[in-house]
């Protein structure tokens, strides 16, 4: 009982995004495949990994009825850049 009471007070915070000092390269040109019923094409993007930008190719994501896909993007923040994850929005 004591354990469950102490665990209910735990708060899980999202980690702060890493600030990258170097601007991301221009996105690569990808030819999106033809539309696929029940799926949304998520375009590729540059991700930061071990001190360098690495291209993450586009992929299909299962559609969520009543929602639309908001693409991820790099955003300038202070002296650097942060990746803002793509997400589903109503």
Burial class of residue 74, CB neighbours in 10 A (0-12, 13-18, 19+): buried
**pLDDT by residue (tens digit) across 59-82?**
999 999 999 999 999 999 999 999
Q: What are phi and psi of 20, to 5 degrees?
A: -100, 130
Judge if pTM exceeds 0.85.
no
- Domain spans of the chain, in order of start: 17-89
Contact in structure between 65 and 2 (CB atoms under 8 Å): no
Mean pLDDT, the chain, integer: 88
Please give the backbone phi and psi of residue 89, each rounded to the nearest 5 degrees, phi first: -130, 150
Bridge-based pairing of strands 45-49 and 52-56 is antiparallel
């Amino acid at each position: 009982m004591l354990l469950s009471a102490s665990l209910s007070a735990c708060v899980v915070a999202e980690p702060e995004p890493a600030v990258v000092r170097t601007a991301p390269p221009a996105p690569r040109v990808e030819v999106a495949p033809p539309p696929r019923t029940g799926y949304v094409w998520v375009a590729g993007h540059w991700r930061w990994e071990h001190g360098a930008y690495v291209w993450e190719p586009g992929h299909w994501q299962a559609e969520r009825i009543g929602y639309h896909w908001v693409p991820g993007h790099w955003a300038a923040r202070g002296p650097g850049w942060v990746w803002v994850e793509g997400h589903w929005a109503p």
